[in-house]
Amino acid sequence: MHDNHALIVVRGLSKRVRGPEGEIRILDRIDLQVFPGESVAIVGASGSGKTTLLGLLAGLDRPSEGEIILAGRRLAELDEEALAALRLAQIGFVFQSFHLLPHLTVEENIALPLELRGERDPERVRAALASVGLEERRRHLPRTLSGGEQQRAAIARAFVTLPRLLFADEPTGNLDRKTGRRVGELLFRLNRERGATLLLVTHDRELASRCDRVLALSEGRLHSEAPA
Ligand SMILES: Nc1ncnc2c1ncn2[C@@H]1O[C@H](COP(=O)(O)OP(=O)(O)O)[C@@H](O)[C@H]1O
Ligand SMILES: [Mg+2]
């Protein structure tokens, strides 16, 4: 496959930061291509740079070296405003700690990305609520929901704009095993049925093994793991 078919192209990506004892190399010359519809897991110990990598791919942070092309756009050429627009158009995010807005209901949280785009689409919000099984909870505030329900709401919010890319950073990290498995199911269903390209950062080997590919991050380098 060629670069121009890839949704994400990363070449020679490095990230260094200044620490108290000099420079720390978090990511070291990483190359990566992610193709439309794929599910890719990135595994690695805590502190190995997984969140840093996702942040760079989403244009939330700038690399020290290397280039990132996302949906055909070279991130280095975009200013903050253009990056924000690209994120809103292309990427849905799911985080370990849900990041729902506490004073908004489940329904309002899910509608938020549409509102940021100046769209109002109650039908789509309803469909998103239904797809994660939260219709009954739509008027609830996040804190009155269980962790699994909050994460399902966060997934609905990530997906309501039908982004091509779904970035999930330890999405099951705060959930018990059974609930984590349900949340995983939901992410894979969005990947399979809606063709969303899934980039999943996780400690959870079981979840990772269900992806098309597993990549391991260690000492700043990204290695492909042989399929199980
Ligand atoms: N802006 C920063 N300044 C200094 N150190 C950082 C910065 N961002 C991340 N780090 C360090 O880089 C390493 C990788 O962090 P992170 O990407 O959060 O890892 P992971 O998500 O795999 O746990 C950690 O040691 C973290 O402390
Ligand atoms: Mg992290």
Return left, alpha or beta for 167; rule: phi > 0 is left, psi -120 to 50 is alpha, else beta.
beta
Q: Are 109 and 153 in contact (CB under 8 A)?
A: yes
CA of 139 to the centre of ligand 2 (A): 31
Residue 6 is predicted with a pLDDT of 96
CATH of domain 36-62+76-224: 3.40.50.300
Burial bucket for residue 100 (CB in 10 Å: 0-12, 13-18, 19+)? buried
CA of 113 to the centre of ligand 2 (A): 23
Residue 104 is predicted with a pLDDT of 98
Tell me which ligand sits closest to the C-alpha of residue 169. Answer: 2
Query: Please, which residues bridge with residue 169 across strands?
Result: 95, 201
For residue 170, the ligand 1 atom closest to its alpha carbon is 21
Name the nearest CA neighbour of 72 among 156, 165, 204. Answer: 165
Tens-binned pLDDT, residue by residue, of the chain (228 aa): 455 689 999 999 999 999 899 999 999 999 999 999 999 999 999 999 999 999 999 999 999 999 999 999 999 999 999 999 999 999 999 999 999 999 999 999 999 999 999 999 999 999 999 999 999 999 999 999 999 999 999 999 999 999 999 999 999 999 998 889 989 999 999 999 999 999 999 988 889 999 999 999 999 999 998 655
Tell me which ligand sits closest to the C-alpha of residue 16. Answer: 1
C-alpha to C-alpha distances, 127 to 30, 130, 131, nearest whole angstrom: 38, 5, 6
- Give the closest residue (by CA) to ligand 1 atom 27: 47
Taking the model in full, what pTM does it have?
0.91
Residue 228 is predicted with a pLDDT of 53
